[in-house]
């Protein structure tokens, strides 16, 4: 096809000729996923070094897939209606008496509520200790870390993600890194588990509140590989209900049960 | 371990009562000494760059950079931009915690029951001090707990356990940039972090 962009008609034709292009990292609109067990509301593949942010409704299931085995899904979570309420990593670990995240664990807000439940996890290597890479850490590791360069850092990706929801630099809080793990030695040393891992590892979360979720997909801050190594991350969400009264995760621990009671109290209105 | 005299001259010397907040500007080069006067008192600690409070202490950056959870002597406390804010230049306690976070009336309801909602908390102290300086809830991030002990077991189990401090033990922090330090002298009475009895601490700044 021959196009000229010397005038607006040609420029318009040239731009419109791109319609229907498919690449790996892109959203699918309207959202559709043949492998989702419910009505799909979000289907997007996040590029290596990419980011995204999205509002999801209470009850929504969010599935993350480490497509090729080297994704690092750094995540922030906000109460969509009152974003000053956000994920509190310290409370998430301390209240549940454990530093390692996996199926059955809860993500807790700084207001004592359940934000999300981890329903399924076949990865097992996650990190709630070491947080996001920053411009300085990427510059040390790869030579540069700026958003406009070849090696963006997760914290600056978060900044762009939260900005889409009217939030700013002060709202970029401590995060969780899914798919890349850190274990703790007796002396407190951090032992990274950064893969690469088998492709297709999957995590399923349930939103227990109205949420804004922000994802950045950049190499883990403790990844020692010389190359900026990260692969695509797939996010799929489908409609569902929040935890039922007899949900086994809801009643599993006294701390968790009280967190669910606090969440349910928020929506008693 | 013994505590050596503070370098230079004392510019500020204050007792922070049990359960109270404290806020102070510490200039680059000055040293802040925290004295655990009666032993096993948790001192919850946040700091902000004095010229831009959207740059603040980052527990996760500090852990990642030093590749260790425990804050020992020589630990460099980093900001969310990866810049040194303060350095632990000396401590007569083996290590300090930065994963346990602060108590809040909300987290207390999860940990101990809804009967604790009315109790005073570190988040209330942080907010009390910060709000007077124009900062709010968005400025709350994971903090340091000086004199608090949070070990992690092999299976990931962690928790606040009996302290490893004692009366008169100290931690010294040299400011690497001008910082606003905000402290909650923890009022927690439900766990071992204060020996179930909050006590005063002493803050000295020298240069």
Interface contact flag, B101 A84, Cβ < 8 Å: no
**Mean pLDDT in residue range B149-161:** 96
**Mean pLDDT in residue range A113-141:** 97
Interface contact flag, B109 A136, Cβ < 8 Å: no
> Which chain B residues touch A90 with a CB distance below 8 Å?
59, 99-102, 142-143
Residue A102's pLDDT is what?
A: 97
Is A31 domain-assigned?
no
Across chain B, mean pLDDT equals 96
* Domains: count for chain A: 1
Residue B96's pLDDT is what?
A: 98
Confidence of residue B156 (pLDDT cuts 50, 70, 90): very high
Q: Other C-beta atoms within 10 Å of A34: how many?
A: 6
Of B63, B139, B143, the CB nearest to A170: B139
A59 — contact with chain B (CB < 8 Å)?
Answer: no
Across chain A, mean pLDDT equals 97
The range of the structural domain enclosing residue A59 comes to 46-268
Is A29 domain-assigned?
no
Of B102, B141, B158, the CB nearest to A99: B158
Is A260 domain-assigned?
yes
Is A80 domain-assigned?
yes
- B74 vs B86: CA distance, rounded Å: 10
Q: What is the dihedral of CA A117, A212, A156, B133, to 10 degrees?
A: -100
What ipTM is given for this predicted complex? 0.95
Interface contact flag, A134 B70, Cβ < 8 Å: no
Interface contact flag, B157 A130, Cβ < 8 Å: no
What's the gap in Å between the CA of A144 and the closest CA on chain B?
14
Of A130, A170, A262, the CB nearest to B60: A130
Respond yes or no on whether the N-terminal peptide bond of residue A30 is cis (omega within 30° of 0): yes
Q: pLDDT tens, B53-95?
A: 999 999 999 999 999 999 999 999 999 999 999 999 999 999 9
Confidence of residue B2 (pLDDT cuts 50, 70, 90): low
Interface contact flag, A90 B138, Cβ < 8 Å: no
Q: Other C-beta atoms within 10 Å of A244: how many?
A: 8
- B12 vs B205: CA distance, rounded Å: 5
Is A128 domain-assigned?
yes
Q: Do residues A89 and A268 touch, judged by C-beta distance below 8 A?
A: no
Residue A264: which H helix or E strand, with range? helix A254-266
Angle (deg, nearest 10), helices B59-66 and A135-142: 20
Residue B4's pLDDT is what?
A: 81
Q: Say which DSSP state B155 is in.
A: T
Of B69, B80, B160, the CB nearest to A184: B69
Q: pLDDT tens, A242-259?
A: 999 999 999 999 999 999
Interface contact flag, B80 A175, Cβ < 8 Å: no
Burial of residue B69 (number of CB atoms within 10 Å: 0-12, 13-18, 19+)? buried
Interface contact flag, B60 A88, Cβ < 8 Å: no
Q: pLDDT tens, A134-184?
A: 999 999 999 999 999 999 999 999 999 999 999 999 999 999 999 999 999
Confidence of residue A1 (pLDDT cuts 50, 70, 90): low
Q: Are strands A114-121 and A73-79 parallel, antiparallel or unpaired?
A: unpaired
A166 — contact with chain B (CB < 8 Å)?
Answer: no
Residue B3's pLDDT is what?
A: 73
Of B111, B142, B155, the CB nearest to A90: B142
Interface contact flag, B61 A131, Cβ < 8 Å: yes
Q: pLDDT tens, B179-196?
A: 999 999 999 999 999 999
Q: What is the value of pTM for the model shown?
A: 0.96
- B109 vs B22: CA distance, rounded Å: 25
Residue A221's pLDDT is what?
A: 98
Q: Are strands A201-207 and A106-108 parallel, antiparallel or unpaired?
A: unpaired
Whether the pLDDT of residue B131 is over 80: the answer is yes
A11 — contact with chain B (CB < 8 Å)?
Answer: no
Residue A2's pLDDT is what?
A: 60
A217 — contact with chain B (CB < 8 Å)?
Answer: no
Backbone angles phi, psi at B139, to 5 degrees: -90, 5
What's the gap in Å between the CA of A32 and the closest CA on chain B?
36
Whether the pLDDT of residue A3 is over 90: the answer is no
3-state secondary structure (DSSP) of residue B169: strand
Of B114, B139, B156, the CB nearest to A100: B156
Q: pLDDT tens, A176-223?
A: 999 999 999 999 999 999 999 999 999 999 999 999 999 999 999 999
**Cα dist. B67→A174, B61, B187 in Å?**
16, 10, 30
Residue A146: which H helix or E strand, with range? none
> Which chain B residues touch A94 with a CB distance below 8 Å?
99-101, 107, 111, 150, 158-160
- A194 vs A192: CA distance, rounded Å: 6
* A50 Cβ neighbours under 8 A, 6+ residues apart: A25, A157, A216, A217, A233
Whether the pLDDT of residue B1 is over 80: the answer is no
- A179 vs A205: CA distance, rounded Å: 14
**Cα dist. A69→A102, A178, A201, A230 in Å?**
18, 12, 7, 9
């Amino acid at each position: 096809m021959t196009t000229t962009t010397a005038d607006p008609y040609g420029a318009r034709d040239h731009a419109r000729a791109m319609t229907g292009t498919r690449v790996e990292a892109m959203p699918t609109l309207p959202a559709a996923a043949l492998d989702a067990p419910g009505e799909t509301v979000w289907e997007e593949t996040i590029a290596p070094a990419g980011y995204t942010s999205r509002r999801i409704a209470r009850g929504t299931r969010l599935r993350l897939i480490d497509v090729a085995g080297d994704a690092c899904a750094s995540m922030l979570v906000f109460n969509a209606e009152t974003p000053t309420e956000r994920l509190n990593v310290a409370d998430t670990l301390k209240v549940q008496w454990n530093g390692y995240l996996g199926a059955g664990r809860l993500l807790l807000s700084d207001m004592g509520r359940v934000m999300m439940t981890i329903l399924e996890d076949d990865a097992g290597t996650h990190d709630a200790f070491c947080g996001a890479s920053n411009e300085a850490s990427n510059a040390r590791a790869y030579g540069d870390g700026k958003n406009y360069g070849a090696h963006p850092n997760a914290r600056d990706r978060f900044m762009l993600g939260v900005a889409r929801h009217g939030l700013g630099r002060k709202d970029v809080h401590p995060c969780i890194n899914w798919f890349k793990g850190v274990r703790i030695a007796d002396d407190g040393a951090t032992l990274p588990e950064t893969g690469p891992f088998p492709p297709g590892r999957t995590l399923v979360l349930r939103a227990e509140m109205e949420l804004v979720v922000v994802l950045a997909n950049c190499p883990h801050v403790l990844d020692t590989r010389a190359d900026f190594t990260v692969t695509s991350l797939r996010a799929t969400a489908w409609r569902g209900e929040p935890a039922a009264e007899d949900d086994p995760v809801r009643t599993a621990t006294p701390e968790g049960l009280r967190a669910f009671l606090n969440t349910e109290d928020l929506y008693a209105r | 371990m013994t505590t050596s005299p503070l370098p230079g001259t004392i510019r500020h010397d204050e007792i922070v009562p049990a359960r109270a907040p404290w806020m102070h500007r510490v200039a680059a080069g000055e040293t802040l000494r925290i004295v655990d006067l009666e032993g096993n008192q948790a001192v919850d600690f946040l700091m902000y760059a004095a010229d831009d409070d959207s740059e603040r202490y980052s527990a996760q950056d500090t852990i990642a950079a030093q590749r260790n959870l425990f804050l020992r002597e020589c630990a460099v406390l980093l900001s969310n931009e990866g810049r040194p804010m303060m350095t632990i230049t000396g401590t007569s306690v083996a290590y300090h915690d930065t994963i346990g976070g602060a108590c809040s009336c909300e987290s207390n309801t999860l940990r101990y029951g809804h009967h604790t909602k009315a109790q005073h908390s570190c988040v209330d102290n942080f907010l009390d001090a910060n709000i007077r300086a124009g900062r709010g809830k968005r400025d709350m991030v994971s903090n340091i707990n000086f004199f608090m002990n949070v070990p992690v077991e092999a299976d990931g189990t962690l928790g606040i356990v009996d302290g490893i401090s004692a009366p008169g033990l100290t931690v010294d922090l040299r400011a690497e940039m001008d910082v606003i330090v905000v402290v909650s002298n923890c009022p927690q009475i439900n766990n071992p972090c204060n020996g179930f009895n909050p006590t005063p601490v002493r803050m000295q700044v020298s240069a």
